[in-house]
Every structure is written in C-alpha cells, then in structure tokens.
Amino acid sequence: GTALETALTGTFRFTLLKNQHLNATRAETQNELIAIGIDETVDKAVETALQHMVEWIMEERPSLSQVDAECLCSVATDVAVTQVVNGATRGAHAVIQKRHLPPK
C-alpha cells in the first residue's frame, strides 16, 4: 500500500507515573489535555476518546460529577480522527484546552 509519512523534530518529556494505573493513552501539553481512543470503527474510537476525556476531567477536578464533565466535553472538546489505516484499527483523539477547566 501507499502511505504519506513525514519527519518530526521536537523536544519531548516523558513522565513515569510510578504506582499509578492509567486506563487509557493520554498526552498533556502546557495548555491541553489529549485523550486517545483506538477501536474497530471511527465512531467507537471517538466514543472511547471522549469517555477517556470525561474520566480524566473527573480525576483532575474531583468536584465535577460525571454529568458535569460530560457537559463540559460537549461544549469545549475538539475531536479529530488520528488514523484510519492499518487494517481494522481506527483512532481518534479528544482535546480540551486547560483554560476551559474549572479552577481546582
């Protein structure tokens, strides 16, 4: 098959979270939380990414209920398709700007 590939040069910092269990792949920048969803279809991958984001928001802001976190996601989270190649693997990521989170 054919694929478009690109080079990337950057500086990355990886943090080992000892004695913590993460249920999902995530990334964090200075300004954003990014939740990753991988599944068999794009729809399921999007749903997975959003569910992971809701869970992460609730971890970051324990005062928020699940309904509150879902409402916040519905108005402040951007979702994009990450991949639609490699057989049955589909990926999506959900991104929320940290400035949209309520104060701690």
Residue 93 maps to a domain: yes
Could you tell me the pLDDT band of residue 100, with boundaries at 50, 70 and 90? very high
74: buried, middle or exposed (CB in 10 Å: 19+, 13-18, 0-12)? exposed
Strand 32-39 versus strand 26-28 pairing type: antiparallel
Q: Residue 26: is its pLDDT beyond 70?
A: yes
pTM: 0.85
Q: Which two tokens stand for residue 103?
A: 């104060």
What is the CATH number for 30? 3.10.28.20
What is the per-residue pLDDT across 41-79, written as a single tens digit (0 to 9) for each? 999 999 999 999 999 999 999 999 999 999 999 999 999
- Non-local (6+) Cβ contacts of 72 within 8 A are 57, 64, 96, 100, 101
Contact in structure between 93 and 82 (CB atoms under 8 Å): yes
**Could you list the residue range(s) of the whole structural domain that residue 79 is in?**
26-98
